[in-house]
Structure 1
């Protein structure tokens, strides 16, 4: 199993001061960056093959890898047009998507409990989504809607006439089987070829779900603490509300 961590963006919505911007994966909570937390949790879960999709200030992320002395190889792939949508970043790492085995596609800007990752990696081979039914309504969360357990929508805006029986927020992590990852890479390439490189990669995931060519499981992680960090108040909430609920991490492998 391979983890692809998407960490290319500018993080403009955090409203950092000019000259003080840095990749969101370098945000620190209790002295540890999100990047180090990702690596430690993946390693503890038995996922040792990690690909970092970088763009903005890649040297800062590389410096963090050296600072923490991470002992396992981490493959770095660069998206030079990181100012465009994340679908272009996914296209940049198409080789990592399609080289075989299950793939975890993960946003870098998430602070999360080990139960979140455990639900994602459980079992041998699976296509899996994560849903949190306890979410704040509004325009920002990416909603995942199910009908009889089948995904019928993955978007921030849900059509008023959509028929579904379950709705929740999609955690920014997806698990894809080998053949599903290959189809996903094809869909992403279609976005690039048709001039839609400025779109979020969730739109391509949505297309994959709705074409129904691959069966997806949905793991309910309601009650497990996590937060996606987009705005300054998310940083405050992460420190005050989420961090105290997380299980302590084991040390880095040696």
Structure 2
């Protein structure tokens, strides 16, 4: 099924656009389609809000994303939605003129790789793309570091990583990314946790769309979106993808109930 694209408060053509180090201004693609199964103990009943609408300090994660992107002069924003897209639409309608394009993923119960492919129009748009998980509370300096990094294709890495298989690990050897997986398969010198924010050149973004399509067409729809990113990194020269070490800046991904507690504790540390 083809995704449906809706416009909520279309971005104005006269919005300010940053040069972003002389490159074309990137478009943002936020993945917000999931039902938050793990947050709700595997039993979301259709009444719970999407994780993007969790509120901290009186503001939803989505509101924070949009404000951070606008402050960085990233004004072309698309959000892949699925579960309770009505609630996200309502949030945007009531958010004082927030600009975003909604892309509807009707198969949101499958893996996030399907949501990634649902946003292929953005990935293949011929512009750099900022890809973001919606379920992250973060200091705005993380986004600034991503946008200002001198690596055109850039991933964010935090050396403060919890043990176990849950964190997605960005693995480094000789200063280069050599693996990207929850359970790394390639020897490396050290690793950190991926924040879930990425900056891709137009070529890398288009390649990512093709790799995601190959997975989905092969029936591998239960996989997470990191798989085609890993494939792309491993198939590329060592210097094509770089990383920005943001260790020490506060952030958390919200997957489990304890993450909500952690997020509330982080609030006083965030640069607004």
Q: Find the aligned partners of 2:58 and 2:143 in 1 and give their Cα distance.
A: 21
Give me the CA root mean square deviation: 1.5
Q: Is the 8 A contact 2:138 2:270 kept in 1?
A: yes
1:37-80 Cα shifts (integer Å, max 9, x gaps): 00000111111110000010111000001111234x31110100
The Cα of 1:7 is off from its aligned counterpart by 0.1
Q: Find the aligned partners of 1:212 and 1:65 in 2 and give their Cα distance.
A: 38
Which residue of the partner structure matches residue 211 of structure 2?
187
Which residue of the partner structure matches residue 197 of structure 1?
221
Q: Say if 2:37 is the partner of 1:7.
A: no
Q: Is the 8 A contact 1:102 1:125 kept in 2?
A: no
Q: Find the aligned partners of 2:150 and 2:259 in 1 and give their Cα distance.
A: 34
Q: 1:135 aligns with which of 161, 166, 187?
A: 161
Q: Find the aligned partners of 2:220 and 2:64 in 1 and give their Cα distance.
A: 32
Q: Is the 8 A contact 2:171 2:179 kept in 1?
A: yes
Q: Is the 8 A contact 1:184 1:204 kept in 2?
A: yes
Q: Find the aligned partners of 1:100 and 1:126 in 2 and give their Cα distance.
A: 14
Q: 1:90 aligns with which of 91, 116, 124?
A: 116
1:108-159 Cα shifts (integer Å, max 9, x gaps): 0000001110111115871001110111111211011011122111111123
Q: Say if 2:180 is the partner of 1:154.
A: yes
Structure having the higher helix fraction is: 1
Moved more, 122-131 or 177-186: 122-131
Q: Find the aligned partners of 1:122 and 1:217 in 2 and give their Cα distance.
A: 13
Which residue of the partner structure matches residue 252 of structure 1?
none
Which residue of the partner structure matches residue 114 of structure 1?
140
Which residue of the partner structure matches residue 171 of structure 2?
145
Q: 1:224 aligns with which of 227, 249, 252?
A: 249
TM-score, normalisation: structure 1: 0.92
Which residue of the partner structure matches residue 66 of structure 1?
93
Count the aligned residue pairs.
244
**Runs of 5+ consecutive residues of structure 1 not aligned to the other structure:** 249-254
Q: Say if 2:196 is the partner of 1:172.
A: yes
Q: Find the aligned partners of 1:18 and 1:189 in 2 and give their Cα distance.
A: 30
**Segments of 4+ in structure 1 off by > 4 A?**
none
Q: Find the aligned partners of 1:86 and 1:69 in 2 and give their Cα distance.
A: 29
TM-score, normalisation: structure 2: 0.86
Q: Find the aligned partners of 1:221 and 1:70 in 2 and give their Cα distance.
A: 31
Q: Find the aligned partners of 2:46 and 2:183 in 1 and give their Cα distance.
A: 34
Larger relative contact order, structure 1 or 2 (CA cutoff 8 Å, min sep 6): 1
Q: Is the 8 A contact 1:127 1:217 kept in 2?
A: yes
The Cα of 1:6 is off from its aligned counterpart by 0.1
Q: Is the 8 A contact 2:110 2:221 kept in 1?
A: yes
The Cα of 1:18 is off from its aligned counterpart by 3.2
Which residue of the partner structure matches residue 102 of structure 1?
128
Q: Find the aligned partners of 1:196 and 1:70 in 2 and give their Cα distance.
A: 38
Q: Say if 2:66 is the partner of 1:39.
A: yes
Which residue of the partner structure matches residue 187 of structure 2?
163
Q: Say if 2:76 is the partner of 1:49.
A: yes
Q: Is the 8 A contact 1:125 1:177 kept in 2?
A: no
